[in-house]
Structure 1
């Protein structure tokens, strides 16, 4: 299977371990990722807070490249997925926007191929059963808090997730890998996002509440799919809080027995090796 791959900016900088684990896990699942040539920044929060047309134009330029490849595209970063998926939605449903983007970017948009959240693609297209058959090191005994945050779930008519209040894709996937997802009420709460610099106290409070509730519910670790959430949950945590935070593909790599998984922990600000080593030891 061959898929277009949009890594986004964070996966080439602060979240390189996410990129490495995405590529390794995809290879183990017999997926060939074709990185989109000359992909551009999705615009993130800055673009859509500044100029609506810019926030559509930047992802539209990447969608043009995806269309040239003729491959469905997977996006691991929740923020990037949200921006590309929003643009895809608007170009399908808003003729005026579509025609303007086609004129400015010199292409004809035909609505294909489609953009997918990587987690959703694994669950819905590859299939949990198929993935579970490749498990070498079950995540047995590991209690995890699956944290979805904001951008992979909202707005639901764009993200197309199973539920905006109680999503289960990550829970179901990691359960199939042997882990025990906990029931908790903070899985879609905001971590503070881009306010980390301008309002650090607020973000520390929001992120601290998420981590505290995960620990109170009995979690050994938090699992997520957003580089910005990962950064906030690691950097803006209350002093003394040491619950580790994983990208979901990192735990997939452990469960699939990938030897390179041990190379991913050095990028973490909160050392997850104790939890990871316990899994690898079986």
Structure 2
């Protein structure tokens, strides 16, 4: 199985531990990731609010690279996935914009490449049972809530992945890894990451609500697929809300029996090692 790997900007900088775990998991599952040195920012931070053509052309450049590689795109970052899916939808459905983008990017869109989030690729394409069969170190005793955030499953007419209000993909994956998944109603609520710089008060309140509800549900940790959400949750928490926030790939890596590299966990603002060590999941 082969995918064109689009890490996106966050995994090159603030979320290097996510990139590390993604590559490790795919290698251990036998999934080939093909990455081009020429990929560019998808424009999720600002381009879509400033220039419509640019907001399509930026992700279209990466779609062009995937076409050339002959492989479907897989994007770990929820925001990147959302922008790539939006661009692909416009290119498929709007002939006028498609022509302008083709001229700008200098490629011919074929519509032969699909865009997947990494979560979707692992759960729906690779398969939960195949992952479960490779588990060597079940996450027994770990109580988690799965946090999908705003952009992974919405809007459904764009993402076309899971249920927009009560998604289950990550929940089902965590159960296969042996974790106890707690029910809660905040799995797709906004964490305020895009307001983190301009409105810290609002963001802190939103993050506080998330963590309060996670703790009320009995969770020991949150699991997410979005580097913006993960960083925001750990940065904007208050001091009594020290729940670690894992990327779902980090927990897959542990369950597969891959030795925990403490250097990567040290990049988390809330140290996850005490929880892992209390459950005999890390030395």
TM-score, reference length from structure 2 = 0.97
- The 4+ residue runs of structure 1 with deviation greater than 4 A are none
Q: Does the 8 Å contact 1:222/1:246 carry over to 2?
A: yes
| Map of 1:225 onto structure 2 | 225
| Map of 1:200 onto structure 2 | 200
| Map of 2:105 onto structure 1 | 105
Query: Are 2:172 and 1:175 equivalent residues in the alignment?
Result: no
TM-score, reference length from structure 1 = 0.97
Q: Does the 8 Å contact 1:11/1:18 carry over to 2?
A: yes
Q: Tell me, in whole angstroms, the C-alpha distance in 1 between the residues paired with 2:36 and 2:147.
A: 28
Q: For structure 1, which runs of at least 5 residues remain unmatched after alignment?
A: none
Across the aligned residues of Structure 1 and Structure 2, the Cα RMSD in angstroms comes to: 1.2
Q: Tell me, in whole angstroms, the C-alpha distance in 1 between the residues paired with 2:37 and 2:262.
A: 29
| Map of 2:125 onto structure 1 | 125
Q: Tell me, in whole angstroms, the C-alpha distance in 2 between the residues paired with 1:89 and 1:160.
A: 11
Q: Does the 8 Å contact 2:254/2:260 carry over to 1?
A: no
- CA-CA distance at 1:157 after TM superposition: 1.1
* CA shift digits 1:105-162 (9 cap, x unpaired): 1211110121100001100001000000000100111110100000101100111122
- CA-CA distance at 1:38 after TM superposition: 0.3
- CA-CA distance at 1:279 after TM superposition: 4.1
Give the alignment of 1:13-162 within 5 angstroms: 13-162=13-162
Give the alignment of 1:262-281 within 5 angstroms: 262-277=262-277, 278-280=279-281
Q: Tell me, in whole angstroms, the C-alpha distance in 2 between the residues paired with 1:54 and 1:70.
A: 24
* CA shift digits 1:193-227 (9 cap, x unpaired): 21101000100000110011000000010000111
- CA-CA distance at 1:37 after TM superposition: 3.1
Q: Does the 8 Å contact 1:102/1:108 carry over to 2?
A: yes
Q: How many residues align?
A: 282
Q: Tell me, in whole angstroms, the C-alpha distance in 1 between the residues paired with 2:149 and 2:77.
A: 12
- CA-CA distance at 1:263 after TM superposition: 3.5
Q: Does the 8 Å contact 1:254/1:276 carry over to 2?
A: no
* CA shift digits 1:58-98 (9 cap, x unpaired): 00111111111011111000000000111011101111111
